[in-house]
Amino acid sequence: MNQVNETGSEQARALDCFLLAGKIMMESGAETYRIEDTMIRMAASQKMVDCHCFITPTGIMFSPSAEMATRFVRISNRSTDLEKVALVNAASRKLVSGELTLRQTYEELQLIDQTNYKFPIQIQVLAAAMASGCFLILLGGGWEDLPFAFIIGGTAFYIVDMILEKTRVKFFAEFIGALVIGSAASLVIYAGFGQDLDTIIIGSVMPLVPGLLITNAVRDLMAGHFVSGLSKGAEAFLTAFAIGAGIALVLSF
Amino acid sequence: MNWPLEAFLSFLAAGAFGVVFNAPRRTLVSCGLVGMSGWLIYRMYFLAFEDSVQATFAGAFAVALVAHILAKKFKMPMIVFSIAGIIPLVPGSKAYNAMRNIVENNYLEAIAFAADALMVSGAIAMGLVFAEVLMQMVFKRQAKRTQKKIGMTRS
């Protein structure tokens, strides 16, 4: 990329810029049609009118015109970071409105790509624990179960995050997380502290539910992006299946 | 039914999910409000008509509608607001019951729960899509109107 910046033409840098924007958005969990829209708009603002892009959850192809070569970026890991999506969106808006030049936009995108905007892990765990507790009450659980859902939900979220960082295998991490939730909840019930096994498990599992994937899959399918819609749907289904298997394993004893 | 408590809890839960998904800091409260509106409409519809599929549709429709309006206001992608709001509607307890019955070899009951969970997920999807189509139509009409106004003042 550095070489291109030094020697390449303006158009090559423009392509780098569009692809980086698409890559960040896909890695942060944006919808496919939103990414395509952003890239095409950015390209149109740089007078590339008849460009095409094809976006899947694992790679982005972008063809600027008949004369120029098609470029491709590979996307290896995806997580959820809505702040990055919003920031790239803002940067592309600025480029289109002429507030930023191409070079400035590219620099800003590189900055966005390298910065970690996530909340510290302690706060994330606390939020997950809070969500678990709230869902326990919303789904009809008793107040006496609240501390268990709070602790189990937070712990499971932390464990999934740790395993994900170490192994990079999402389904395994979710499976282990569900397993921990199931065993901890059963333990609490057998020890005589908890009242209702079902609501404790459901409440604690909620932070692991692939809600983003499900909504994205549906919206992509409806927008006509069948390849990414189906693959995101498969990812959501596998995640749900991993959670279900982890809980089922505990319940079958 | 304790409405203020449910409103507060769903607000808190959706806001917490905003933190987990790392929504931009200044939208966290709005995320909570989206989740709260979705959940309250879901509960109201459910208590009135006793149909979880229709209730989920109404809830998802409300979430997507509010999310679209907020997205216009904040000039951010709609996904920032809708994700946290959709989570409370996900049929977690139905899927759990389906799986539990499979483990206990009650396949007939499991199928009933699984079908219900599937219908509810479909309702979420339909709610999102309907709201999206509706908002697109409204925004297009608004854009046309402003275009007309500008044209009239210019001429």
Give the pLDDT confidence of A75-116 residue by residue, as tens digits: 988 888 889 999 999 999 999 888 888 888 999 999 998 988
The residue of chain A with its CA nearest to that of B132 is A219
> What is chain A's Cα-based Rg?
22
Cβ atoms of residues A3 and A13 within 8 Å? no
**With bands split at pLDDT 50, 70 and 90, how would you rate the model's confidence at B75?**
confident
Residues of A with Cβ-Cβ distance to B92 under 8 angstroms: 135, 139, 202, 205-206, 209
Average pLDDT, chain B: 88
Distance CA A86, CA A137 (A): 32
Distance from CA of A131 to the nearest CA of B (A): 4
ipTM of the complex as predicted: 0.85
- Pick A124's closest partner by Cβ from B19, B39, B97: B19
Q: Which residue of A has its CA nearest to B122?
A: A218
Res. A8 pLDDT band, cuts 50 70 90? low
Per-residue pLDDT tens for B96-120?
Answer: 888 888 888 889 999 999 999 889 9
Test mutation, B31, B41, B87, B128, chain A, max A CBs within 10 A: B87
- With CA atoms as reference, the chain B residue closest to A250 would be B103
How many residues are present in chain B? 155
Contacts of B129 in chain A (CB under 8 A): 218-219, 222
Contact status, residue A72 vs residue A59, Cβ threshold 8 Å: yes
> How high is the pLDDT of residue A49?
81
Contacts of A157 (CB under 8 A, 6+ apart): A124, A125, A128, A129, A177, A207, A208, B20
Residues in chain B closer than 8 A to A251 (CB atoms): 99-100, 103-104
Q: What is the pLDDT of residues A138-188, one digit of tens each?
A: 888 888 889 899 999 999 999 999 998 888 888 899 999 999 999 999 999
**A156 shares contact with chain B (CB less than 8 Å):** no
3-state SS record for chain B: CCHHHHHHHHHHHHHHHHHHCCCCHHHHHHHHHHHHHHHHHHHHHHHHHCCHHHHHHHHHHHHHHHHHHHHHHHCCCCHHHHHHHHHHHCCHHHHHHHHHHHHCCCHHHHHHHHHHHHHHHHHHHHHHHHHHHHHHHHHHHHHHHHHHHHHHHHC
Range among A25-29, A208-212, B55-59, B71-75 with highest mean pLDDT value: B55-59
Compare all CA atoms of chain B with the CA of A246 and give the residue at the minimum distance. Answer: B99
Q: How far apart are CA A57 and CA A74, in angstroms?
A: 9
Mean pLDDT of A8-26: 86
Cβ within 8 Å, pair A90-B75: yes
Q: Is the pLDDT of residue A7 over 50?
A: no
Work out the angle between the directed axes of helices A10-28 and A32-45 (0-180°, nearest 10). 160
The average confidence (pLDDT) of chain A is 87
Note whether A75 and A55 are within 8 A (CB).
Answer: no
| A37-52 tens-digit pLDDT | 899 988 888 888 888 8
Q: Chain B, 42-71: which have a CB under 8 Å from a chain A CB?
A: none
A-interface mutation test, from B3, B81, B93, B102, most A Cβ less than 10 A away: B93
CA closest to B131 among chain A residues: A219
CB contact under 8 A, B20 and A127: yes
Percent of chain A at pLDDT exceeding 90: 30
Please judge whether B103 and A138 are an interchain contact, meaning their C-beta atoms are less than 8 angstroms apart. Answer: no
Which H or E run includes A61? strand A59-63
Closest Cα of chain B to A241: distance in Å? 10
Q: Is the pLDDT of residue A3 over 70?
A: no
Question: What percent of chain A is modeled with pLDDT above 70?
Answer: 97
Q: Which of B77, B45, B50 is nearest to B61 (CA)?
A: B45
* Contact yes or no for B16 and A118 at CB 8 A: no
**Confidence at B153, pLDDT banded by 50, 70, 90:** low
- Does the distance separating the beta carbons of B124 and A82 come in below 8 Å? no
**Stretch B11-33: mean pLDDT:** 91
Report the pLDDT value the prediction gives residue A6, as an integer from 0 to 100. 47
Point out the least confidently predicted range of A208-222, B6-20, B109-123: A208-222
Q: What is the pLDDT of residue A5?
A: 47
Q: For chain B, say whether A155 makes contact (Cβ under 8 Å).
A: no
Q: With 0-12 CB in 10 A as exposed, 13-18 as middle and 19+ as buried, what is B112?
A: middle
Report yes or no: B116 and B52 within 8 Å, Cβ to Cβ: yes
pTM: 0.85
Per-residue pLDDT, averaged over A225-250, amounts to 89
Contact criterion met (CB < 8 Å) for A31 and B19:
no
- Work out the minimum CA distance from A249 to partner chain B, whole angstroms: 8
In the predicted model, what is the mean pLDDT of residues A50-66?
88
8 Å CB contact of B96 and A201: yes
Residue pairs spanning A and B at CB distance below 8 A: 145
Q: Is B31 on the interface with A (CB under 8 A)?
A: no
- The pLDDT of B63-86, averaged and rounded, is 89
Verify whether the Cβ–Cβ distance B16 to A128 is below 8 Å. Answer: yes
